Amino acid sequence: MLNGAVLPEPEPSLCRALAADFRDVGYTAEAVRAAWGDAADDAIARGLRSPADRALGVRDDALAVLGRLLVLGMPQAAASVDRALARTGADGLVRLGLASVSGGEVAPLAVVRPQSFTAPFESGQWWIASDLDEAALGGPLPEDHVLGVGGASLTLAGLQLSTPAARGLDIGAGCGIQALRARAHVDHVVATDISERALGFTRLNALLNGVDGIDVRLGSLFEPVAGEQFDRIVSNPPFVITPRVADVPAYEYRDGGMVGDDVVAAFVQGVGEHLAPGGIAQLLGNWETRDGEPGLDRVRAWVETSPVALDAWVVERESLDPLSYAELWVRDGGTQAGMRGFSGLVDAWIDDFASRNVTEVGFGYLLLRRPLAGAPTLARYERLAGSTAGGEPGRAPRRRPRCP
Ligand SMILES: C[S@@+](CC[C@H](N)C(=O)[O-])C[C@H]1O[C@@H](n2cnc3c(N)ncnc32)[C@H](O)[C@@H]1O
pLDDT one-digit tens code per residue, 297-353: 999 999 999 999 999 999 999 999 999 999 999 988 665 556 678 889 999 999 999
Instruction: For 390-402, write each residue's pLDDT tens digit.
Output: 444 444 333 333 3
pLDDT at 5: 57
| pLDDT confidence of residue 58 | 96
Return the pLDDT at 398.
36
- The pLDDT assigned to 393 comes to 40
| pLDDT the model gives residue 394 | 42
**φ, ψ (nearest 5 deg) of residue 155:** -60, -50
Which segments of the chain have a pLDDT < 50? Answer: 389-404
Q: Are 18 and 96 in contact (CB under 8 A)?
A: yes
Q: What is the rounded CA–CA span in Å between residue 242 and residue 361?
A: 12
80 burial type by CB count under 10 A (0-12 exposed, 13-18 middle, 19+ buried): buried
Rounded to two decimals, what is the model's pTM?
0.93
Length of the chain in residues, anyone?
A: 404
- Please give the pLDDT value at position 404: 30
Q: Ligand 1 centroid vs 174 CA: distance in angstroms?
A: 5
Residue 360: beta bridge partners? 289
Q: Judging by beta carbons within 10 Å of its beta carbon (0-12, 13-18, 19+), is residue 398 exposed, middle or buried?
A: buried
What is the per-residue pLDDT for 268? Answer: 98
pLDDT value, residue 118: 82
pLDDT at 401: 30
Spatial distance between the Cα atoms of 397 and 5, rounded to a whole number of angstroms:
29
Cβ < 6 A, ligand 1 pocket? 147, 153, 156, 171-174, 177-178, 192-195, 198, 220-221, 236-238, 252-254, 256, 394
Cα–Cα nearest to 382, from 330, 311, 316, 333: 316
Protein residue with least CA distance to atom 20, ligand 1: 220
pLDDT of residue 158: 93
pLDDT at 247: 85
Edge-first strand order for the sheet with 214-218 is 214-218, 186-193, 165-171, 230-235, 275-290, 358-369, 311-320, 379-383
